[in-house]
Amino acid sequence: MSNEQTALAAFENYKIRRVYDEASETWFFSVVDIVAALIQQPDHQTARKYSNKLKERLGKEGRQSVTNCHRLKLPAADGKKYITDVADPETLLI
């Protein structure tokens, strides 16, 4: 991704990390942050474990949780950037 811009989006009281790719003119949103908002889980680690377990269970069933998921570095609470699953709005709404 070139010329990435990162920003936070808000959904109710949940902060959703996102990154903008200027080349494709697309926002990519953190899947774990979306899961946290959907299950109303304020603890990031609990939401991450829930998301990982969901991916594991779906994988065992031969299905994928998100077929068009990318992995990008996004800033975390500690200020460092870590690789996380991200998806564009179209993928998230399918």
3-class secondary structure, 15: strand
Interatomic CA distance for residues 27 and 11, integer angstroms: 15
Segment 53-66, tens digit of pLDDT: 888 887 788 776 65
Segment 11-46, tens digit of pLDDT: 777 889 999 989 989 999 999 999 999 899 888 899
Interatomic CA distance for residues 13 and 94, integer angstroms: 24
Does the pLDDT at position 4 exceed 70? no
Does the pLDDT at position 5 exceed 80? no
Question: 16 pairs with which residues across the strands?
Answer: 9
Task: Break the chain into its structural domains and give their ranges.
Answer: 5-93
Instruction: Name the residue with tokens 């779906």.
Output: 58
* DSSP-assigned letter for residue 25: T
